Amino acid sequence: MGQCRIDRRRHRDGEEEIVVAVYVDGLRDYGWRHGPSCHLIADSVEELIEFAESMGLRREWFQAKSTPHFDLTVEGRAAAVSKGAIELTNRELIGKIRELRQRKRLQEEVAKSLRKK
């Protein structure tokens, strides 16, 4: 499988738009001091980080554990959606995470088999 491509488009007003497959789930109150939050995920880590940085998120806020993601506040979620993030229900997000994990396992298996040759 190939890498997902990050497309850049420049508007007539000179503003650059980053086109990627990035997703947010619904807001939930996890008891976080910043209030309700959600998750920002993408089809690849590269896409996720580039999109997050384009929103002004810091790279050190990236969370690599289990599923690479950023946590977003209410305002952060609104900003992500306005920049093109796809809104998913919590159930849809779980399905997307399973899909991404399966894709990663397949890529690792292919890489492992190629190393043996």
The domain segmentation of the chain, as residue ranges, is 7-116
On whether the CB atoms of residues 46 and 110 are closer than 8 A, the answer is: no
> What is the reported pLDDT for 113?
85
Please state, in angstroms and rounded to a whole number, the distance separating the CA atoms of residues 89 and 93. Answer: 6
Query: Cα separation of 39 and 16, whole Å?
Result: 24
Chain mean pLDDT for the chain: 85
User: Which residues touch 84 (CB under 8 Å, ≥6 apart)?
Assistant: 17, 19, 20, 22
First to last CA, the chain: 18
- The pLDDT, as a whole number, for residue 1 is 27
- The model's pTM is 0.76
